[in-house]
Structure formats: structure tokens, C-alpha cells
Amino acid sequence: MKTDIKKICRKAKEASRRLAILDNGAKNAALRAMADALSRESSYIASENSKDIEKAEKSGLSRVLIDRLRLMPSRIGDMADSLLEIAKLRDPVGDLLETIKRPNGLVIEKVRVPIGVILIIYESRPNVTSDCAGLCLKSGNAVILRGGKEAINSNVAIFNVLNKAALRCGLPEGAITMIDNPDRKVMEELLAQSDFIDLAMPRGGEALIKYVTEKARIPVIKHYKGVCHTYVDRSADLKMAEDICFNAKVQRPGVCNAMETLLVHEKIARKFLPGMIKRYEASGVEIRGSKEVKSISPGVNLAKEEDWHTEYLDLILSVKTVKNVDEAISHIMKYGSYHSDAIITGDKNAQAKFLKEVDSACVYVNASTRFTDGGEFGKGAEIGISTDKIHARGPMGIEELTSYKYLIYGSGQVRR
């Protein structure tokens, strides 16, 4: 099957011009119609989804991955609810960000505009299809969706339902596009469409991100791994530290904002670690400690160098003692992924140093790294967590899906 990528992308670009000037009411009406349609077509989506599940079971996919794929009625309901939530968000397009008045009489307005055409490349979870379509529409962008082949039937079903509803509401063809050809050549061609696509966002494993970064001729914002740290300072309230460290690792270990490495000030390690490790082990967490940690709690495994780099996404935790806040910061900057890192401390100087010198998207004091999330930040739904420093960092909500332009009002000014 031949897919005419250039034609598809040109259509998306044309649609983006119309979406950019659509008013909030029209966008919300479409979002509500899309939510309705998901609920109405729930059994069609579920039956298409069962094809993916069957294939996944045959091919021996892990239980965790099959669970991610599965669309029960409640999950389809959640997708619909998310679209309704997105409709309720404030429309950021047209925001006046700055006004500059120049001595020559020129008035310069910086106003928020959509980015244009956004390409989302993602793996497994089919709800990404509907979330990304909703967020891109609300922010006035056309979206091109390219999901993983293991969820292809589910993704196409969701797309069909959403797209029909959108077209019925008068949205232009090309506002939402699904690429159903799983060929890598097609993805490569997509990533070269710099005339038509303004931004690519890969969401998935390390291999996918690397592939996209290598092939892309268009700007990319990465949703990369989270090797998140918590550093328990000498001055920490140890009860608070224990609760936060437990939460950051155990509450939902499979997500990017979960803690992967615990750093503990050496002067409190003997007091803090035995109880903490006991609590972890009682919840099934495997501890991989440095030599010093093993000398305190001999039962733990010894960490290897690669452990400090690893995003486990599982009930595994690497633990190390450090001399002071400086060593903690150095460790985080050397091994971390600049996603979310926390200090637990009662010392204002250590706190200030940590906040200033840890260059991560989200730097916490006395709280769990698990709060790095669009909803928890009060931004509403998010399209991902940027681990890049260009354009957007941390949770990306609809404001982060916009750009700006300058409108310059003159009365005949010429340059001297």
C-alpha cells in the first residue's frame, strides 16, 4: 500500500490555516461532538480493539503491555471525559503577550498563535490518539497521528470516530490525520516534510526517540526518559523524607516522574536507611545500593555503574550515600535526565543551592517528584513532559502547543 505522504501533509497544512482562525466556540462544539461520538461508538471501538488484543496475545506481548492496550468501556468513557475537560480549558490562541510602543510611533503586539501542523509519534496506549487530537484541536493546530502497529486497529477506529464527528462540525479535512501505514519508510518521509510539518513529538521508548531525532528534518520536542532523584539532606525531617521517598517510588512506579535513585546524606544514612529500606522491601521494591549502603543494610544488592543511568519504570531503586548537597547535585547532573529531582531538607542554604544548581525541568523541595504532571500543575491535560530546553520544558499543556507572531501597527513609518 502506497501512502502519498506529501499530499497528506499539504492537506494538513491547509487545514491548519483554517484551524488557526477558528473561534473557541467552534472548537469546543467539535470537541463535545467528538466526545459524544466516542461514547456512542464505544462497542465498535471495543471490537476493533479486541483484534489488537488477540494479536498481542498471540505474539506473546507482556501482560503489562497488553493491559495498556486494552480499551474497556470505562477507558473509552475516560477518553470522552478528557475531550470534555479540554473543551472547558481557556483558549490560549490570540492572547496578547506583550505590547511594545516605540519612539517612532510603531505599536508592536506579540500575540499567541497556533504552531501549525504537529506530528505525534507514539507507542502502545490508544488513548493517546484521542488526547492528542483534542489538545491539538483546542490549541488551533492540525495533528498528524502515527501510532504503533500493535494498536493499529484501535487507533484507526478511534480516529474514524473522531474525524467523522469533526467533519460533521465543519472542521476542515486534514485537521486530524491518522497514518495507518506502519512502514518505517513512511515515518522517515513524514519526518522530512519540513515544508508542511512544524513540530514532531515522539512519545515512547529510547529507540523511538533516537530514531526520530536522527531522521527528523523538522523541529522535535522530546518526551524522554525520567531518571528522577530524591536527595535526603542531613537536615531533613526524616518522617517527611520517608513518606515522600516511599510515594515517589511506589505509588506508580511505571511512569516517568517516579523516583529511580535515592541519594542520602552520609551523616543520617545509618539512622534513615534501615527503616526506609525495610518499608520499601515490604512493598516489593528491590534495592540496589552503593558499597556504603550495603555496609548499612547488608541484604541489598550492589548497584552497578549502569544502575545510576537507568530508568527502571519498575519496583527497583538505586540508593547511594553522598557527602553533601554538592555531591548530590553532581550526581544528579551526571546521571540524571533533567526531568524531576527533589531535595528533602530543613536547611535554607542547601535548598537554595539545590534549586539553583540542579538544571532539571522540575526541581522540588520537600515534595514527591510524582507531581510533574499537567493536571497537578493546574494546566489541565498535557501532551507530554518535555525533557528538552527549547520551546517548552516540563508538562506541555495547550499553551505550550502555541507559538507567537508580532503585529506591527504603523502610520507610514520608514527606516532611516
Residue 23 binding its own copies, by CB under 8 A: no
Number of residues that bind its own copies (CB under 8 A): 67
DSSP character at residue 213: H
Residue 366 binding its own copies, by CB under 8 A: yes
Instruction: Tell me how far apart the alpha carbons of residues 8 and 190 are, in angstroms, rounded to a whole number.
Output: 10
Identify whether the C-beta of residue 153 lies closer than 8 Å to the C-beta of residue 52: yes
Among 157, 179, 220, 227, binds its own copies (CB under 8 A): 220
Among 26, 240, 268, 313, binds its own copies (CB under 8 A): 240
Identify whether the C-beta of residue 95 lies closer than 8 Å to the C-beta of residue 189: no
Q: Cα angle at 87 between 84 and 91, to 5 degrees?
A: 165
Residue 389 binding its own copies, by CB under 8 A: yes
Among 12, 393, 396, 397, binds its own copies (CB under 8 A): 393
Identify whether the C-beta of residue 317 lies closer than 8 Å to the C-beta of residue 280: yes
Among 121, 130, 364, 382, binds its own copies (CB under 8 A): 364
The four Cα atoms 88, 94, 97, 98 give a dihedral, to 10 degrees, of: -150
Among 12, 221, 396, 398, binds its own copies (CB under 8 A): 221
DSSP line for 59-93 = TT--HHHHHHH---HHHHHHHHHHHHHHHHSPP-T
Identify whether the C-beta of residue 188 lies closer than 8 Å to the C-beta of residue 215: yes
Instruction: Tell me how far apart the alpha carbons of residues 279 and 246 are, in angstroms, rounded to a whole number.
Output: 8
Residue 35 binding its own copies, by CB under 8 A: no
Instruction: Convert residues 320-339 into a mask of x (bound to its own copies by CB under 8 A) and - (unbound).
Output: -------------x------
DSSP character at residue 303: P
Among 73, 254, 274, 410, binds its own copies (CB under 8 A): 410
Closest-CA residue to 358 (of 342, 378, 346): 342
List, edge to edge, every strand of the sheet that includes 286-289: 301-302, 286-289, 316-322, 259-265, 228-232, 340-344
Instruction: Convert residues 40-79 into a mask of x (bound to its own copies by CB under 8 A) and - (unbound).
Output: ----------------------------------------
Among 43, 47, 99, 251, binds its own copies (CB under 8 A): 251
Among 362, 381, 383, 396, binds its own copies (CB under 8 A): 362
Instruction: Tell me how far apart the alpha carbons of residues 114 and 169 are, in angstroms, rounded to a whole number.
Output: 20
Among 80, 89, 115, 277, binds its own copies (CB under 8 A): 115
Residue 219 binding its own copies, by CB under 8 A: yes
Instruction: Convert residues 294-313 into a mask of x (bound to its own copies by CB under 8 A) and - (unbound).
Output: --------------------
Applying CB under 8 A, the residues found at the interface with its own copies are 17, 20-21, 100, 102, 106, 108, 113, 115-116, 194, 198-199, 213-214, 217, 219-221, 237, 240, 243-244, 246-248, 251-252, 333, 355-357, 359-368, 370-371, 376-378, 388-391, 393-394, 403-416
